Amino acid sequence: MKTKKLYISLILAIFFSACSKDFTNLSPKSDIATTNFYNTADDFKTAVSGAYGSLQLGGVFGNIYVFGDITTDDTWPSVSGSVTDQDQFDKFYLITTNPFILSAWNDSYKGISRCNAILSRIDAVTFKNDDLKKQYKAEAKFIRGLIYFNLVRIFGDVPLVLSEISNPDQGYQFGRNPKAEVYTQIEKDLTDAIDGLKAKTAYASTDLGRATNSAAQALLGKVLLTEHKYTDAAVQLKKVIDSQIYSLLPSYADVFKANNKNHAESVFDVQYKSGSIGEGNSLPNSFAPENSGNAVIQFGGAGNDRPSTDLEQAYENGDLRKSASMATFYINASGVRVDYYYCKKYWDTPAVANDNNNNFPVIRYSDVLLMYAECLNEVGYVADGDAFKNLNLVRQRAGLPIKTSAEISNQVSFRLAMEQERRVEFAFEGQRWFDLVRTGRAVTVLNSKATQIGIKKTLTDANLIFPIPQSQVDINKNKIIQNPGY
């Protein structure tokens, strides 16, 4: 039936990833029969690798920039002919059949289904090492919590599916759970994950990149911050700081180098591996200038996520992050300068197109420091207190002078300073939109720049979440109701 095929987003067949000595080798196996799987610890090792692999999907983190960057004053998309899928995000004339919307929904539930299969089956299997079973369960809960965090911020109320779906008809029973229930489950998943995950220092080099207890604490801190639970968020973020496992790299540019992965600043990254095995990162080619040939990167670029003039001007004089993050021109094959703004943060040298070795940062230590500073300020502004200390650690690494209470004299001005700092620290990392929404500033900031951005309507709070894919509404009209305004 056509409807069953469409509703497959909640009951997608699970594809697992190949095991190897390095868990980041996530190339997929096809169609493993579940009746012959989930029987051994090695089976679950493979299944957990498959859950991590789902984070690479376009609708999870592969195209997170479309939601987190393109929607803001930071970047804009390349528009080719009638292809306006990203332009709809940039100018806010989104339609409910937009493929990025559908991908975000389908790919997220694909990842959730992989986690649910692990969690639904693992207790029935005997492990020689009970700590390993505990770790695999914790990793699945961490990944599920992370994916649901993206989902609830993108769509608002979403179906909360917490067990394996084995029959397509089961999918029709799931409606949209209130976002408060979704956040409660995310908090539970991450709290459980903290208890079962290892510290980064406890992993062998081949396992670096797996979720750690600090990654779960940092993510839980971000979730609680998003819910405006500032005191609770500060507790989790302070634990990461107090672990003394993480630190800012001396050079901002080194944070993103393909040959410097899972370093001291990396709290959690989506893992990629080049080598023509289907696990390479496509962003360096995607972001390089279109029609530039090999002048910027081998195999050319698509011109996506182009920096705005407004973003360029947001960098203070002397900010070392600017030259590490973006460029304003390149020299073409004829030796001619071409004025063109583009993101260079993820540059690499691919062996084949879209096969780069960079990881994608989800939470960096600088994020932990700035989130902690934000929490402290929201609990209560203290002139030149610890919030200033953490803000200034990030600024000093960027080559900038510290900020003091002489410049930031109250809680409101500290919020604006934090907004500015996060904008330039995390440019092109898919964070700007979610920051503006979290702080209640998205409508004000973007409407004030409507003309330069080209927004096609005055934004309201209805625009703070995106439309549910039309196919989901059509299939299950009694359960899935479209968001207002779409």
- State the Cα–Cα distance between residues 443 and 426, nearest whole angstrom: 20
Cβ-based neighbour number of residue 290 at 10 Å: 14
Q: What confidence tier does 60 reach under pLDDT thresholds 50, 70, 90?
A: very high
- State the Cα–Cα distance between residues 119 and 162, nearest whole angstrom: 9
- State the Cα–Cα distance between residues 360 and 273, nearest whole angstrom: 11
Q: What is the mean pLDDT of residues 192-197?
A: 97
User: Please, is 124 exposed, middle or buried when counting C-beta atoms within 10 Å of its C-beta (0-12, 13-18, 19+)?
Assistant: exposed
Q: Dig out the tokens for 53 from the structure.
A: 């692999």
* Mean pLDDT score of the chain: 92
What pLDDT score was predicted for residue 33?
Answer: 52
Q: What confidence tier does 82 reach under pLDDT thresholds 50, 70, 90?
A: confident
Residue 330, SS3 per DSSP? strand
pLDDT in tens, 415-443: 999 999 999 999 999 999 999 999 999 99
Q: Where do runs of H (alpha helix) occur along 72-129?
A: 87-91, 99-121
What pLDDT score was predicted for residue 35?
Answer: 63
| Proportion of the chain above pLDDT 90, given as a percent | 88
pTM: 0.93
**Residues near 33 by beta carbon (within 8 Å), at least 6 away in sequence:** none
Q: What is the mean pLDDT of residues 316-326?
A: 98
Q: What is the mean pLDDT of residues 143-170?
A: 94
Spell out the domains of the chain, with CATH numbers in brackets.
Answer: 2-241+464-475 (1.25.40.390), 283-346 (no CATH), 362-457 (1.25.40.900)
pLDDT in tens, 252-267: 999 999 999 999 999 9
Q: Dig out the tokens for 409 from the structure.
A: 């004299």
Determine which of 38-47, 99-108, 169-178, 347-356 has the lowest per-residue pLDDT on average.
Answer: 169-178
Cβ-based neighbour number of residue 211 at 10 Å: 28
Residue 25 has pLDDT above 80, yes or no: no
Residue 81 has pLDDT above 90, yes or no: no
Q: What confidence tier does 11 reach under pLDDT thresholds 50, 70, 90?
A: very low
